[in-house]
Amino acid sequence: MGTLWRIHHQNHEFTSRGWIMGVLNVTPDSFSDGGRFFGTTLAVERGMEMAEDGADVLDVGGESTRPGAEPVNVADEIKRVVPVISELRGRTRALISIDTMKPEVAREAVAAGADIVNDVNGLREPGMLEAVAGTSAGVIVMHMQGTPRTMQAQPYYRDVVQDVRDFFVERLDTLARAGIDPLRVALDPGFGFGKTLAHNLELLNGLDQLRMEDRPFVLGVSRKSMLGTLLGDSRLEHRAWPTVALTSWMRESGGEIIRVHDVKPNAQAMRMTEAIIGPARSA
């Protein structure tokens, strides 16, 4: 049996097949789509398109976490995401995650049908541990240095791989003491969240060192500025194929869940990679 992720009392394993998580931004200021899917109808249509293209998880977010993003109040965030989740829940078998740092939003989203709480702040907001512990949802714990507004202001680490690993150790212990089964937890190193290009590359190269307690990885580099920097091309539309290449590499390197904006080409890349490397190496 490979790596397990327990979501609503059901165990999912990734020995032969990883997951694609499609990014569904219900915000007017997303860095990646400029608010193209802001509004319930457009967001639901986009979510259904992603599910048809092969998304295993639809990650619904109502607050931008791009560098320098301004916070959104609880009421507005709930108003953005809950109707989308409710409608998607009735129309697709894909899992639904809520991308939020707020306990109130997490509770409302799970009540509306979300299966996973994806928290870029690693469940550090007061009340978030209790909110998640009171559900059977899966949870994604991400590492971020600072806040979205400040995270890219000269991030510094003694050893970024060890520092992120130490964070994961502390979070897993804290979540377990709060009554959250470790099998419910997936880990995300947080590429681009308080990291320089060098930090991101070190984390990619050190994925094996970040593995602990056989927890699955959620990895997201889709359309991020590191791709433009590496390729010397700042145009957002030119980051799609580098993302596909990294999806294949990350799956071969053991990543179980890959978070992307362009579902179909990344899902195809993952399936092709798994066919080549076989179950023994994709576990």
Give yes or no: 224 in active site.
yes
Are the CB atoms for 20 and 55 separated by under 8 Å? Answer: yes
Q: Render 209-257 in DSSP notation, one character per residue.
A: HH--TTPPBEE--TT-HHHHHHHT---GGGGHHHHHHHHHHHHHTT-SE
* AA letter at 112: A
Instruction: Give the relative orientation of helices 40-52 and 74-89 as an angle to the nearest 10 degrees.
Output: 50
Q: Which residues pair with 188 in a beta bridge?
A: 142
Total residues belonging to the chain: 283
Q: What distance in Å separates the CA atoms of residue 86 and residue 23, rounded to the nearest whole number?
A: 17
The CA distances from residue 58 to 1, 20, 22, 106, in Å, are 26, 9, 5, 15
Instruction: State yes or no: is 239 an active-site residue.
Output: no
Residue 241: CB atoms within 10 A of its CB come to 13
Active-site annotation holder among 171, 184, 224, 251: 224
Q: Which two tokens stand for residue 196?
A: 């320089």
Marked catalytic residue, from 259, 264, 271, 281? 259
Q: Which whole-number Å values give the CA distances from 187 to 39, 54, 66, in the listed order?
A: 30, 22, 20
Cα separation, 97 vs 99, whole angstroms: 6
Residues with catalytic function: 224, 259
